Structure 1
């Protein structure tokens, strides 16, 4: 092995050890895409909070985003699980139609920038992961500007690269068990 090849290999290893999120296929790698969209400010959670696993931490500051990364034919994103039914963790009814949706429907909420002031409401997007793809209808916004209140189920603002999907979307993609929660996907307008 030449010295140049050895140095290149050593440097590549150092980068992957230093930045483990760069390893392909991780949700952390897909979060790096969000770095192209910079926070537009912060939101301070109330000093007294609601207690749940996903809830805002009292007094903690959360980044807010008005933008999302550019949409391409294969937009990298992180898919999260949302319950769109009444009483579910999605908060109130969906922004697009002011209705709740069954978790058996292929529906999603998109981060504020991708939601585009409702321009994607009622439109299908194609979500791909694990060699499968599924069409899902945009029915809601995953609010990247507001949160930590009852309207937002006491959750922090969404990151700018979130596709918040119903259980049926996860099922259609064959993502189960411990993989459900945060999962790297790609999506495009259908």
Structure 2
């Protein structure tokens, strides 16, 4: 079992799918995620790998779909009720990338 930590105040961070992550160019930059008439700024801290997966380095998780924002709970709570991993950006939320 892993130790669980709680950030106070809640931290708005995201992992972007491989294409949006842009080889790390967006890492540590802020993006704006919009949904339900609300917006929140979130710091890009990781890549949700769309090309690799199912191996030790990726914790045996499958690859992420394209066009994914995997966000901290604080991001989704700020936006209201939306899916946590949304594959179609135009359908559910807007993303402003630097």
Given candidates 77, 88, 98, the residue that maps to 1:171 is 77
Given candidates 78, 84, 94, the residue that maps to 1:181 is 84
Other structure's SS at 1:156 match? coil
* Number of equivalent positions: 89
**1:145 Cα deviation after fit:** 1.1
Can you give the 5+ residue segments of structure 2 that lack an aligned partner in the other structure? 87-91
Other structure's SS at 1:125 match? strand
Tell me the equivalent position of 1:142: 48
Q: Counterparts in 2 of 1:58-77, with a 5 A limit?
A: none
Higher relative contact order (CA 8 A, sep 6+): 2
Distance 1:125 1:108 in 2: 9
Can you give the 5+ residue segments of structure 1 that lack an aligned partner in the other structure? 1-86, 89-100
Distance 1:152 1:102 in 2: 24
Query: Which has the higher Rg, Structure 1 or Structure 2?
Result: 1
Distance 1:150 1:181 in 2: 24
Given candidates 143, 156, 161, the residue that maps to 2:62 is 156
User: RMSD across aligned C-alpha pairs, in angstroms?
Assistant: 2.3
TM-score normalised by L of structure 2: 0.78
Runs of 4+ in structure 1 over 4 Å off? none
TM-score normalised by L of structure 1: 0.42
